[in-house]
Amino acid sequence: MFNFRPSIKAMFISSLVATLLSACVEVKPWQRGYLAKDEMAWQVDGLESALNKHITFSKEASSGSSSAAGGGCGCN
């Protein structure tokens, strides 16, 4: 496809790798403030989410990924 000299290929590949690796940075604790806001959470209320999972598991016998056994009777 491309007939470049090996040195040009090596420079291109190394610059591509350097560009891709430059996006990998460690997030500092003071930069995590925005991600820690309630609006960014998957479930805003943890207690309500746990109760909804319990009700769904007990009534419909569909536990999702909780790896618990039991039927729809609620007698786990």
Digit-by-digit pLDDT tens for the chain (76 residues) are 566 667 888 889 999 998 888 877 787 888 887 777 777 777 778 888 888 888 877 776 655 555 555 555 555 5
Residue 2 lies in a domain: no
Residue 20 lies in a domain: yes
Q: Domain range holding 54?
A: 8-60
Residue 75 lies in a domain: no
Specify the pTM. Answer: 0.32
Residue 76 lies in a domain: no
Residue 47 lies in a domain: yes
Let me know: does 47 contact 40? Beta carbons within 8 Å: no
Report in angstroms the alpha-carbon separations of 36 from 29, 39, 42, 44, 47.
Answer: 10, 8, 11, 11, 18
Residue 46 lies in a domain: yes
Residue 52 lies in a domain: yes
